[in-house]
Chains A and B, each alone.
Chain A
Amino acid sequence: MRKTLFESFTHGPLTEPPPPADEAGLAELAQALNRTARAKLGRSLSIRQVDAGSCNGCELEIHALSNAFYDLERFGLHFVASPRHADVLMVTGPVTKNMREALLRTYDATPDPKWIVAVGACAVDGGVFAGSYAVEGGVKDVVPVDLTIRGCPPNPRQLLAGLLALLQTAS
């Protein structure tokens, strides 16, 4: 263990400079948020991720945000285990009929003010799964969406750019 720990001192940090905040996201957010919400949320955001039917691809890339290269927590953004602790719900997947109620309950359990971020191509409109008897549609068909991060799956830089837009709007 010592060897591994000491080595961390000899090479520089792996963490990379962040991408610029997503322009499209900033525009989308400008419409969605009012001043009170911004004041209350401040510069630190707690995120609760909800998989509402994804293939798990988006989850893998959301996970990657916590690795040493992207180090999400340096921006004051962190994932929490309960919607009751969250400011942001990050929802992935087409919303399946079987997950609709669970998503609504999670939404209701999240205190106001809250932001909903729809992540991934499926979360926009159901993606390749649109039209199935088992799929409700995109996230916006079930809960109001404040920010959309596209991609199949969006890579960590795209995710980060979207979340930084959220943070910039909040401050």
Chain B
Amino acid sequence: MALLDSIAHKDTAKRHRPWPRVGVSDEGWRQAIDLLAGGRATLLGLWGDAPDVHMALLGEKFDNIAVLTYTCKNGTYPSVGARHPPAIRLERAIRDLFGIEAAGATDARPWLDLGFWDVRHPLGKKHAAKKHAPYTFLTAEGEGLHQIPVGPVHAGIIEPGHFRFTCNGEHVVRLEQRLGYVHKGIESLMAGASLDDAAKLASRTSGDSTVAYAFAFAQAAEAALQIKAPPRATYLRVLMAELERLANHVSDIGAICNDASFALMHAQCSVLRERTLRAAEACFGHRLMMDAIVPGGNARDITADGASHVRNLLAEIHRVFPRLVELYDNTASLQDRTVTTGIVKADYARQFGTGGYVGRACGRTFDARRMPGYAPYDALQFEVPVLEAGDVNARVWIRIREVEQSLTLIEQVLGRLPKGDVRTAVKTKGEPCEGLALVEAFRGDVLVWLRLDGKGRVERCHLRDASWFQWPLLETAIEGNIVADFPLCNKSFNCSYSGHDL
């Protein structure tokens, strides 16, 4: 309880699992902000639950997690973002969704509400929308500056979002993102949904991380209900999660090279991705493995010949991938584009608690599979590769190393897959209960928090994608780089729009 030792708190929620949730007053809330601003804790999430606001914290050594709950007074709570910038966008989102204000906040602009909804504060006290004031972008001053607006509809087959570049010639002076275009109201649809329906929504939060989201949602629900998925199910969950990581990593490595006009890597990597998805389909009946993980276990077992498909896939990747890595490493024209491009400062990554390869490429060692860890990763051998350079090249190398680690994890799972059922019955407890889960998706940690009512329906569910703490760093990474390197930087981050916008 090290985190809570230095935070004054009143009561502890009785049925919040596996980590504690405590109520705090102004003093405790301020102490938590002190910890965040002083770099002694990491912000895992900040979300509304009218009339409350919850804040999830991660301890300095990544070994303990706590949720603090502040009950708003007159619809306000003391701003976290005013002293700890990573909270700013979260506070703006809370205001848009709930109408709850962060007192003392420095940015009064909306975030998810772009002025097109019929209602304001859809998750709080709803009322009919009024006309919005025009959105003002942050300014940049200097001679010869010009702006380039991009999106929301982008030139490729990608998600929508708006980027506002201010440039001096070819050099980017400032990038400001404006997101929220794919906001679907997932959290409002979750409220009142059955566990099955809510799991389906969670699986469609970010299509490229459907396994990770279903995994996290199931884990949060299982923690709340105090049930355990059978061992065979958890091992198969790892198989799916690592196949998903593999598919995304190989395709992104190729896509990053493609953005540097090196099409050969892209073509070869796309073949590996396709083979991975085909193996996934042969095992679980769906190429992206959607809806395969459900609260209580898995919707279906691996097919009889699934393991042999995966073994063939591993053999193929072992044969082809090292050669592609060598190709990446030995192509000077490619290295010229990726080395020293889009550098993320280590301090920012630490401050923002940036997860995934973006954080690990600049020295932040966090990986949710290792710390706080979850079954059965604690019983499996794997390394968490970390580099210091923080550039596009480092992010590519982290992904290369993670592909290798995924391969060894999959081998271990196939070698010791427990026998037995893949699903246990979900029994509700007749009383409200809450659960929290942190699962490592390919791009970083996904946080799911939920409260179930006595009948096992979802009362409130919050999903926080790793992108929330990666998008702001992309703004910093592109500074001083040329416009033509933006696609390269952007792809090396590959943040989620849908996972962020919800």
Contact = CB atoms under 8 A, between A and B. Distances in A.
Contacts of B156: 81
Given A59-B207, A63-B157, A97 B271 contact: no
A168 B114 CA distance: 41
Nearest to B281: A155
B153 A134 contact: no
B210 to A, nearest CB: 7
A24 interface: no
B273 interface: yes
A58 B287 CA distance: 12
Contacts of A138: none
A56 B270 contact: no
Contacts of A102: 152-153, 160, 181
Contact of A134 (B122, B160, B210, B330): B122
B288 A57 contact: yes
B207 A56 contact: yes
Given A56-B206, A57-B290, A134-B117, A4 B268 contact: yes
Contact of A56 (B267, B271, B498): B498
B182 A68 contact: no
B271 A99 contact: no
Contact of B181 (A14, A57, A82, A99): A99
A92 B180 CA distance: 17
A54 B189 contact: no
26 contacts: A1-B264, A1-B327, A1-B331, A51-B160, A51-B182, A52-B160, A53-B182, A54-B182, A56-B208, A57-B208, A57-B288, A59-B158, A60-B208, A93-B182, A96-B181, A98-B114, A98-B183, A99-B152, A99-B160, A102-B181, A132-B184, A133-B122, A134-B184, A134-B185, A135-B185, A152-B290
Contacts of A60: 207-208, 288
Interface string B270-303: 1101100100010000011010000000000000
A53 B184 contact: yes
Interface string A102-145: 10011000000000000000000001110111110000000000
Nearest to A58: B207
B205 A55 contact: yes
B312 to A, nearest CB: 15
A: contact size bracket: 35 or more
A69 interface: yes
Contacts of A134: 117, 122, 183-185, 188
A61 B324 CA distance: 23
B159 interface: yes
Given A53-B184, A68-B267, A96-B182, 14 more contacts: A1-B264, A54-B498, A57-B210, A60-B208, A63-B157, A64-B270, A69-B271, A96-B183, A98-B183, A102-B152, A102-B153, A131-B189, A135-B184, A135-B185
In this complex, the interface size class of chain B, counting residues with CB under 8 Å from chain A, is 35 or more
Contacts of B157: 49, 51, 59, 62-63, 79
A4 B271 CA distance: 13
Contacts of A39: none
Given A54-B182, A56-B159, A152-B290, A98 B116 contact: yes
A46 interface: no
Interface string B163-189: 000000000000000001111111011
B118 interface: yes
B496 interface: yes
A162 interface: no
B200 interface: yes
Interface in B241-260: 251
A133 B201 CA distance: 15
B119 interface: yes
B287 A55 contact: no
A1 to B, nearest CB: 6
Contacts of A55: 204-207, 210, 498
B323 interface: yes
Nearest to A63: B157
A171 interface: no
Contacts of B189: 128-129, 131-132
A86 to B, nearest CB: 12
Contacts of B152: 99, 102
B274 A67 contact: yes
Interface in B316-362: 323-324, 327, 330-331
A73 interface: no
B188 to A, nearest CB: 6
Would you call the interface of chain A mostly helix, strand, loop, or mixed? Answer: mixed
The list of the 3 closest CB pairs from A to B, nearest first, reads A57-B207, A132-B185, A134-B185
A63 B273 CA distance: 11
B70 interface: no
Contacts of A133: 117-119, 122, 185, 188
A94 interface: yes
Interface string A1-36: 101110000000010000000000000000000000
B309 to A, nearest CB: 16
A106 B153 contact: yes
B155 interface: yes
B47 interface: no
Among B122, B158, B189, residue most surrounded by chain A Cβ atoms (within 10 Å): B189
B327 A54 contact: no
Nearest to A50: B153
B215 interface: no
Contacts of B201: 128-129
B98 interface: no
B158 A4 contact: no
A132 B114 CA distance: 16
B493 interface: no
A118 to B, nearest CB: 16
A53 B290 CA distance: 18
A59 B181 CA distance: 16
A57 B204 contact: yes
B152 to A, nearest CB: 5
A21 B206 CA distance: 30
A49 B206 CA distance: 18
